[in-house]
Homo-oligomer: A and B are copies of this chain.
Amino acid sequence: MIRRLAIIGVGLIGGSLARALRAAGQVDQVVGCGRSEQNLQQALELGVIDDYWRDPADAVRDADMVFLAVPLGAMAGVLESIHDALAPEAVITDGGSVKGSVVADAVRVFGRVPPRLVPGHPIAGTERSGVTASFPELYRNRRVILTPLPETDADALERVRAMWQATGAQVSEMAVAHHDQVLAATSHLPHMLAFGLVDALARMQDNDEIFRYAAGGFRDFTRIASSSPVMWRDICIANAPALSDVLSRFSDEMGDLADAIRGRDGDRLLEIFSRAKLARDRFIDGIDQTATD
């Protein structure tokens, strides 16, 4: 049970957490903080938060749980703002898509790994943003990865785990560096491909005609290119080493494919496509099993 939850960044992610905890009866009071007063006012009117502050230091005062749901590039500044205002028992967690950079920011601001910081990442979202896009079921049956460090307080970890379980999420743990590698492959790289493909086509001559003849497959394939440019700039910079590594593996793969196409090597193409189809079909089976667990 959370007495007072402070949410820094009351958008899709932060707002949905507040709504889910309220629906589960797991929070007494929710206070918000953010850059857009209009968005905070909406959050208040929608009953997502009970009160709001413009300064993160005011928002976290007397909170026993603090959730940071700001772009990765804003994490260091928020941590600096709240550092002196945190209650001693306050647990801090976040929703950032990269964990190494959040830990590094915290170490820079706190002078060490803060024991009450539990880095986390709910793997959920839609292309929409802002508190009006939030809803209480966003995390149901979705995965949340926590990346505790050796210094992390066991009680703080347990409280964050219980919070996410109350939203209906499946919580697991992973090392910081491993999280950043896995997400580089499954999320950050696909976003780069979608942004890169749409941009490459947009830069071609007759691009209007090209988009006109794109079919449903293209629409699905590029949906993630409608995501927030600022959020993705921050993710790329925060996860540059792991993302560069998977980008170069992918580039090698595409080089092989391009060679096979230029050389009309049907056997090689069939091998690559068959292996991919098998993995993809098995992956879908895996997801369906999770959904019915």
Q: Residues on A close to B: CB < 8 A? A: 73, 123-125, 142-143, 145, 182-183, 185-187, 189-204, 206-207, 209-215, 217-230, 232-233, 236-237, 240, 243-244, 246-251, 253-255, 257-258, 260-262, 264, 266, 269-270, 272-284, 286-287, 290
**Nearest Cβ on chain B to A27's Cβ, whole angstroms:** 25
Q: List the B residue with the shortest CB-CB distance to A269.
A: B233
Contact of A218 with B186 in the complex, beta carbons under 8 Å? yes
Given A213-B145, A275-B199, check contact A240 B262 (CB 8 Å): yes
Nearest CB of B to A156, in Å: 23
* Complex CA distance for A189 and B247, rounded to whole angstroms: 17
A274 nearest CB neighbor, chain B only:
B229
Report the Cα distance A29→B270, complex, angstroms: 37
Q: A254-B196, A254-B251 are in contact. Are A283 and B143 (CB under 8 A)?
A: no
Shortest CB-to-CB span from A183 to chain B, Å, is 7
Set of chain B residues within 8 Å of A210, measured between Cβ atoms = 182, 185-186
**A222 CA to B185 CA in the complex, in Å?**
13
Query: What residue of chain B has the Cβ atom nearest to residue A265's Cβ?
Result: B237
8 additional A-B pairs beyond A192-B254, A196-B253, A198-B277, beta carbons within 8 Å, are A124-B215, A142-B215, A193-B197, A211-B283, A221-B224, A226-B284, A232-B273, A236-B260
Chain B nearest Cβ from A158, distance in angstroms: 22
Q: Name the residue on B nearest A190 (C-beta).
A: B221
A187: B residues at CB distance < 8 A: 214-215, 217-218
A221 and B202 in contact (CB under 8 A), knowing A212-B286, A261-B236? no
CB distance from A129 to the nearest CB of B (A): 12
Minimum CB–CB distance from A101 to chain B (whole Å) comes to 11
The verdict on A269 contacting B223 (CB below 8 Å), with A185-B201, A286-B211 known, is no
Would you call A258 and B251 a contact (CB within 8 A)? yes
Look across to chain B and name the residue whose beta carbon is closest to the beta carbon of A264. Answer: B237
